[in-house]
Amino acid sequence: MILLDRVTKTYNKNHTALDRVSLHVEPKEFVIIVGKSGAGKSTLLKLLTCEERPNSGKIVVGGLDYDKLRDRDIPLLRRKIGVVFQDFKLLPNKNVFENVAFALEIVGYGTHEIKNTVPRVLDIVGLKGKEKSMPLELSGGERQRVAIARAIVRQPKILIADEPTGNLDPKHAWDVIKVLEKINRYGTTVILTTHNQDIVNKLKRRVITIDEGRISSDRANAKYHAEGTKQ
């Protein structure tokens, strides 16, 4: 469960990036966050991952109250939340298997467990057979699916996908979205930000619109138009 209660984030005195935002996301929901550039979407995601701290308001994610979070709780939070970004952030000198395995190595998984886990996750994202490929040998869509595999390999409860299709053509964008839907069907909460109107309209999921730091609408199965008006 994700709970935000009147959360405000100000980067500098004159500008409020998020203004008393309240939000409740149930486990296993698939939520799309839309809004113009500068609306506050990334700020919201950074608050969830604890990369930024709010000036006021309450954030509780999966039972963790962020007010009470100590430094040593941060790894616990990182386990709960997987993140993928528009620019993939893969390690260029490691192959597909190694990129995903790395997420396990750094938290102390053994070779045997890694050999068991990584192929399973690559299968989920449709990259079986690509284990030895280097990132540069892959299409953008495949790279993003490696990034998703890496984000879910420790089975987080929540997957945050920040503009994951921003650099992809429509076909590859849909491949990525289908993987997100599959992961959601397996029980992971998915928070997706996108500017792609076609994806928003076809997914028929809950759509939260942020406008100048405030939630201007929150609707199930909403249609969205690029200029921010809804039908």
Q: Please report, as ranges, the residues that interact with ligand ADP according to CB under 6 A.
A: 11, 15, 17, 35, 37-43
The pair of structure tokens assigned to 196 is: 């792609």
SS3 category, 145? helix
The residue among 48 and 151 lying less far from ligand ADP, judged by its C-beta, is: 48
Measured between alpha carbons, how far is residue 51 from residues 54, 75, 178 in Å?
A: 10, 12, 28
Instruction: State the minimum distance, in angstroms, from the CB of residue 160 to ligand ADP.
Output: 12
Nearer to ligand ADP, 35 or 135 (CB): 35
Q: Closest approach of Cβ 174 to ligand ADP, in Å?
A: 23
Minimum distance between the CB of residue 214 and ligand ADP, rounded to whole angstroms? Answer: 12
Give the residue with the Cβ less far from ligand ADP, 41 or 172.
Answer: 41
Q: How far is the CB of 32 from ligand ADP (least distance, A)?
A: 13
85 versus 109: smaller Cβ distance to ligand ADP? 85
Return the number of the residue (12 or 231) whose C-beta is nearest ligand ADP: 12
Q: Minimum distance from CB of 12 to ligand ADP (Å)?
A: 6
